[in-house]
Amino acid sequence: MPELPEVETVRRGLNKSVKNKIFKDVLIFHKNIIEGNEKQFIQEIKNKKIIEINRLGKFLIFNLTGDNVLIAHLRMEGKFIPAKSLKEKSKYARVVFIFKDGTILNFDDSRCFGLLTLRKKKNYLNVPPLSHLGVEAIDPKLDFDKVYQLIHSSKRTIKETLLDQSIVSGLGNIYVDETLFLSKISPLSKANLLNKNEVKIILKNAKEIMLKAIKHNGTTVFSFTWDKGHAGEFQKFLKAYGHKGDKCVYCGTPLIKIKVGGRGTTYCYNCQKLKTDKYVLGIAGPVSVGKSTALNTLKKLGYKTYSADEAVDKLYQDKKIQTNLKSIFNTYKKDEIRKIINKNPNKLKKLTNLLHPLVKQDIQHFIDTNKGYLAIEVPLLFQVNFDEMMDETLLILSNQNKALIKNRGKKAGAQLNINNLANFNHYKNKATYVIYNNKSLNSFINEVKRIAKL
């Protein structure tokens, strides 16, 4: 989605190409792009002159003669494309504005998420969609104390808070990642735990980054272009966004990509410090790769820990669970059930359907009733979608776990088969961190310590 620098770039281009032009007609090819009645929209636009195109946050504001302003929100794929005549109607034109001089302005939107709205000049700033917008980081009149209070009152992560257009308008995914990277603050940090100096640094860096992006005509990622297909150039200066796996320019640690509030987020876990009252790390991996060692290492560092294996062992002792297990497997003994699953993998789903909802409920209780740093070991974390409960995840793998399992004796075959059934390699791209336990014990422990955030 175009952010403030991209929309500002579009605004400047439009002022050069269509300012002072007079609308003759409007062709609407997708009615959902227009808010309100189409016929009324066309009637209000006809014979009006574009006095100036302004911008507020990510919104373009066409100041027209008469009583109205035209407000445009580009959203994901919206573009304004000027052209010489109707013969140059663009491929994804959803609305075409025809000017009296014969030229046109295409509103091009392949995904049809954009929105064009007419509002009265006398109150357009006091009604939606503009009334909810917060101050821009580049606004010289920014009231720091007011913005700080809004950020400080948020219980969300700082990433989610900065994306909230009612707090700071104009920032989107790209520039929030860049701002937090430059500020050396983790996107997972709780907004209400940041002090005034940290918020000052964030706003200062947001302003600096966006002004530089405006200077370079925005960032061209995906399909953003402006003025006859010209691309912005700020992507050349990006240090975090789009650089997953690249080395941090400050410390050399590979950047990682996680999801924060459902948005892809790239950052350096070494440089960007975490401030939170609760952080939850989920640990997953095959049998005998070192999950318990990782959990114990984190416990020694001050983490509160939870083992799903231990929780499952307790469930196996529960009389009601034993009855349910016996009805499915004709036994409630764990080792015997493992053998049955190895012979008939389809029965694994029946076991998970019985036990995992109870484990999930127990994990949620553990998360809800504890603060600080929490580490939760769930071998099948990704397979059962428990990763959605975690802030970050650690997947432990090993090329040597066959030998480690065989050291356990007669259960080796069954355990190896469980590893194969789970297909852990499939989830490498979902994990925040992947550690291969192929070297010495000390080396493995040091790798765990490196991501501990303490």
Give the β-pairing of 68-73 and 168-169: unpaired
At 23-38, the pLDDT tens digits run 999 999 999 999 999 9
Report whether pLDDT(310) > 90.
yes
Give the β-pairing of 392-397 and 278-284: parallel
At 155-197, the pLDDT tens digits run 999 999 999 999 999 999 999 999 999 999 999 999 999 999 9
- Active site residue: 184, 259, 263, 449, which one? 263
Task: For tokens 């066959």, name the residue.
Answer: 402
Report whether pLDDT(421) > 90.
no
- Active site residue: 2, 5, 187, 379, which one? 2
Eight-class DSSP state of 255: P
Characterize 354-392 residue by residue with b for buried, 16 or more Cβ atoms within 10 angstroms of its Cβ, and e for exposed.
ebbeebbebbeebbeeeeebbbbbbbbbbbbebbebbbb
* Beta-carbon-side half-sphere exposure of residue 204 (alpha carbons within 13 Å): 9
Give every CB contact of residue 454 below 8 A, 6+ residues apart in sequence.
Answer: 301, 302, 303, 373
Question: In sequence order, which ranges of 170-279 are alpha helices (DSSP H)?
Answer: 173-183, 196-215
| Residue-by-residue DSSP string for 33-48 | GB-S-HHHHHHHHTT-
At 243-268, the pLDDT tens digits run 999 999 999 999 999 999 999 999 99
Range scoring the smallest mean pLDDT among 226-240, 322-336, 375-389? 226-240
Report, as an integer, the average pLDDT of 371-393: 94
- In angstroms, the Cα distances linking 171 to 181, 213, 273, 372, 383 are 14, 12, 21, 30, 35
- Active site residue: 55, 58, 190, 453, which one? 58
Amino acid 221: pLDDT: 60
Give the predicted TM-score (pTM) of the model.
0.85
Calpha distance 448→454 (Å, rounded): 11
Query: pLDDT-based confidence at 344, cuts 50/70/90?
Result: confident
* Beta-carbon-side half-sphere exposure of residue 422 (alpha carbons within 13 Å): 24
Q: Is 58 a catalytic residue?
A: yes
Q: Is 156 a catalytic residue?
A: no
Range scoring the smallest mean pLDDT among 8-22, 101-115, 327-341? 327-341
Report, as an integer, the average pLDDT of 287-304: 95
Amino acid 410: pLDDT: 46
Report whether pLDDT(57) > 60.
yes
Q: Is 2 a catalytic residue?
A: yes
Which position has the higher pLDDT, 345 or 281? 281
Q: Is 345 a catalytic residue?
A: no
Calpha distance 267→253 (Å, rounded): 10
